[in-house]
Amino acid sequence: MTLAASVMPASVVSLPAGTQLTPASTSAASAAGASTGLGQGLTETDFLTLLTTQLQHQDPLNPQSPSDLAAELAQFSTASGVQTLNTAFNSGSSLQAANLVGKNVAVAGNTMILGANGSAPGAFSLSAAAKDVTVTIANSAGSIVGAIDLGAVAAGNQTFAWDGKAADGTVLPQGNYLYAVNATSASSGATVTATPYAVVPVTSVVLGGQSGPMLDLGGGLAPVPLSSVTQVF
């Protein structure tokens, strides 16, 4: 049986009718294209063109093995995936974000996560020094379940930890709690502005977003961009 030769793009090497293009000959064709200044990098379009030509010119009595085609597709997919990953990591912010996985970070919010270790970390920033700072803790229903008296606290970023116990010493269940910071000025007695931060673990990183690397957070909190992190613990 004789196959009529097809009209192919100029960048594809023409083969005699009835010739089967094997993976080895595909590599040779690519090398020939490179020597003439064509196809210095095999793009997805180039690959699909070669694959289509290979199917058009295979011998009907000896068709290309499905396993060979699958192997070629897997090789191209792997190379394409590696190139995408390299592009995503081609910035300091991506590497910085990846290094945060498994660490606690402070982001805007007033959520505390009480873990299996019986402790819940928190953080806040004071606009001025305070002579008395009190942290009140509430459950998801809004009921006050605990309080911490931190005493006098300097201006700036501060951290604290709650032991997960109610005022009567009852150990409370693990989960998310909310907190509020009340601070009194050391000089005038007026209220000092306190900005709370949620201290939560980074569970994974999503690269390639329009806002840069996105951090997936523990405790069911919504993902945040890397730029939202104020402290790393």
Q: What is the distance between the alpha carbons of residues 170 and 175, in angstroms, rounded to a whole number?
A: 15
Q: Comparing 87 with 9, which gets the higher pLDDT?
A: 87
Structure tokens at 205: 């990183």
Q: What is the distance between the alpha carbons of residues 80 and 42, in angstroms, rounded to a whole number?
A: 10
- Considering Cα of 224, then 226, then 229, then 233, what sign does the dihedral take? positive
Do the Cβ atoms of 192 and 209 come closer than 8 Å? no
Total residue length of the chain: 233
Q: What is the mean pLDDT of residues 7-30?
A: 46
Q: Hey, where are the domains in the chain?
A: 23-88, 96-232
Q: What is the distance between the alpha carbons of residues 59 and 3, in angstroms, rounded to a whole number?
A: 9
3-state secondary structure of 92: helix
Structure tokens at 67: 């396993």
- Residue 42 binned pLDDT confidence (cut-offs 50, 70, 90): low
Segment 197-217, tens digit of pLDDT: 999 999 999 887 777 889 999
Greatest mean pLDDT range, 40-44, 106-110, 115-119:
106-110
Question: How confident is the model at residue 62, as a pLDDT?
Answer: 61
Record the pTM: 0.60
Do the Cβ atoms of 231 and 156 come closer than 8 Å? no
- For residue 144, pLDDT over 80 is answered with yes
Burial of 48 (0-12, 13-18, 19+ CB in 10 A): exposed
> Which CATH architecture best describes the domain 96-232?
Sandwich (2.60)
- For residue 8, pLDDT over 70 is answered with no
Do the Cβ atoms of 69 and 20 come closer than 8 Å? no
- Alpha helix positions (H), the chain: 23-35, 44-56, 66-88, 92-98
- For residue 2, pLDDT over 50 is answered with no
Q: Give whole-number Cα distances, 182 to 129, 130, 143, in Å.
A: 12, 10, 17
Q: What is the distance between the alpha carbons of residues 26 and 204, in angstroms, rounded to a whole number?
A: 40
* Residue 231 φ/ψ, nearest 5 degrees: -150, 155
